[in-house]
Structure 1
Amino acid sequence: MDCLFCSIINKEIPSDIIYEDEFVIAINDINPQAPVHFLIIPKKHIKSLNQLEDSDLRFITHIAKLIPKLAKEFDLNEGYRVVNNCGDLGGQTVDHIHFHVLGKRQMLWPPG
């Protein structure tokens, strides 16, 4: 399998890791779109939301609980945005499910 995020998880490619546990890794985005912009990536390779199985829901629950914790650590008390791109038209560029957390600036709508 040739997956950028799996290579990062396996420490084959260096990255700026801000959090890691047995289920996920969180890294700063290499092309930040906000003053704070990090990704939360499950360690299990799941292509996208469309490929989630019932057994994978524990990863999503874990991520949902982790996001506010990391947001607090990064002082995103005034608000933040969580983004998941799904499929080509949704803007997904890496075929491994991940969630962007962006903050420290006003988020606009529609996002584009």
Structure 2
Amino acid sequence: MADNDCLFCKIIAGDIPSTKVFESDTTYAFRDINPQADVHVLVVPRTHYEDAEALAGAPGELADVISAGVAVAKREGIEEAGFRLVFNTGEHAGRTVFHAHLHVLGGEQLGMFGRPGH
């Protein structure tokens, strides 16, 4: 089920252009328009879930999103050097789009996570 006002639902539907990296029956992956690493791909479930917490209620689809993230890392050639899979949920995490999505980041040395010095 899609949300007519959702940016990512519009991308999945093809109403808004994107640079597709990977797709399956349950997921769609595309390049982030504001990349935070040399490789920055978003993996979204085709079904609209507001965030990772809601997606956790559909464990099969959550597993599909994570599997798609690993497939993206392999396609992008970053699986051996290392990559990061990140869900942002809630205001403090910096979430800006209300459709669950997994960030696949890599292709360069990534900084430490969280606050500096911790």
Query: Same fold by TM (over 0.5)?
Result: yes
Partner of 1:52: 55
Gaps of 5+ in 1: none
Q: Name the CA shift for 1:35/1:64 in 2 (closer, same or farther; >3 Å).
A: same
CA distance in 2, matches of 1:30, 1:61: 25
Aligned residues: 111
Tell me the CA shift for residue 3 of structure 1: 0.4
Q: Which residue among 71, 74, 90 is the counterpart of 1:72?
A: 74
Identity %: 37
CA distance in 2, matches of 1:12, 1:75: 29
Divergent runs of 4+, >3 A: none
Tell me the CA shift for residue 30 of structure 1: 0.3
Q: TM-score, normalization: structure 2?
A: 0.87
Tell me the CA shift for residue 53 of structure 1: 5.7
Gaps of 5+ in 2: none
CA distance in 1, matches of 2:113, 2:10: 33
Partner of 1:91: 94
Q: TM-score, normalization: structure 1?
A: 0.91
